[in-house]
Amino acid sequence: MPVEPLPQKEIEDRLAQLPGWSLDGDRIARSYRLGSHFAATALVIHIAQVQEELDHHSDLTLGYNTVSLTVNTHSAGGAVTDLDFRLAHRVEALAPGHGAS
């Protein structure tokens, strides 16, 4: 089933419901600051598990105690789609209270 790009207005409306997430060019993005390198690594592992479940893989960057995530849908020409927001909501459920950096 093809994935359709979302209109700009819908992307903005959906981002308003995801504190800490923002539009970064043609992607949605979020960074998390955690208490330790171990906690950041654990979050990356949990995100990878969700990505596998959704068959939707984002770019992840692991720093000492930070995790950064940028998401768009390659099969939709690199546009932002509903699938990106599904992933973002799942990631938020994994990392409540970690705060954006």
17-69 pLDDT per residue, tens? 999 999 999 999 999 999 999 999 999 999 999 999 999 999 999 999 999 99
Three-state DSSP class for 64? coil
Would residue 90 count as lying in a domain?
yes
Domain that holds residue 61: 8-94
pTM exceeding the 0.95 threshold for the entire prediction: no
Would residue 64 count as lying in a domain?
yes
Count the domains in the chain: 1
* Distance, CA of 38 to CA of 56 (rounded, Å): 24
- Per DSSP, which regions of 1-101 are E strands? 22-24, 27-33, 59-62, 66-71
Distance of CA 11 to the CA centre of its chain: 13
Would residue 22 count as lying in a domain?
yes
Output the pLDDT for position 98. Answer: 55
Would residue 3 count as lying in a domain?
no
Token pair recorded at residue 41:
């690594």
Would residue 2 count as lying in a domain?
no
CATH number at residue 35: 3.30.1360.20
Work out whether strand 66-71 and strand 27-33 pair parallel, antiparallel, or are unpaired: antiparallel
Output the pLDDT for position 19. Answer: 93
Would residue 42 count as lying in a domain?
yes
Token pair recorded at residue 50:
């969700």
Would residue 100 count as lying in a domain?
no
* C-alpha dist (Å) from residue 12 to 8, 27, 34, 65: 6, 12, 27, 29
